[in-house]
Amino acid sequence: MIRSAPSPADYIDALVSGLATPEERERRPLMILQTGYFDDSGSDIGSRYYVLAGFLAPVEQWKGVANAWAGIIDREGLRYFKMSEAMALDGQFRRGWTAPLRNNLILELIDVVTAINPWRIESFVNRKLFDTLLRESSALGPSMILTLCCSTKSSFRSQPTRRE
């Protein structure tokens, strides 16, 4: 038997393996499973804040996003999408890309995510506060301190920001 390469949606299924099938969840909802994609920013020297932000949505919706995202990335001849490379026109964006082409790609990828209307979660932590807590509470470690700081400052929004 010849097996094809896993689809992007297959990787999302792997994240929730062992849980009830969609049919079982419809008959007997035991839990609501939300999957999130998050990224951080603000670790550069001049930044005043650490930021952790992302989106939450049901697994089935992320599978559609993963397939659509991969299709766009493949169409453009990219192996992956990294915003810092895109904004700097560096890495994969060094040759053949202009700011307008890059901006159109970013807007298209934004549309893929916002089409599922995910919950947006964002946290901002003052960098000086975080660094002070890190020095004074080294036993907790940076990831625990960031988690504590972010959990007290999180804002949940049921609607993502839409561009005009």
Long-range contact list for 97-103, CB < 8 A, 24+ apart?
none
- In-domain check, residue 162: no
Task: Confirm whether 163 is domain-assigned.
Answer: no
Determine, yes or no, domain membership for 124.
yes
User: What's the helix, strand, coil split of the chain in %, to 5?
Assistant: 50, 20, 35
**Residue 156 is inside which H or E element, if any?**
strand 155-157
Express each pLDDT in 70-110 by its tens digit: 999 999 999 999 998 999 999 999 999 999 999 999 999 99
Per the domain annotation, does 18 fall within a domain?
yes
**Nearest of 153, 136, 120 to residue 39 by alpha carbon:** 120
| Domain residue limits at 131 | 8-157
In this structure, the dihedral spanned by the alpha carbons of residues 68, 71, 51 and 56, taken in order and rounded to 10 degrees, is: 20
pLDDT in tens, 23-59: 655 655 444 556 777 777 777 778 888 887 888 888 8
User: Quick check: is 78 in a domain?
Assistant: yes
In total, how many domains does the chain have? 1
CA-closest candidate to residue 126, choices 144, 107, 140, 145:
145
Strands 119-126 and 49-58: antiparallel
Examine residue 1 and state whether it is found in any structural domain, yes or no.
no
pLDDT class for 163, splitting at 50, 70, 90? very low
Residue 2 covered by a domain: no
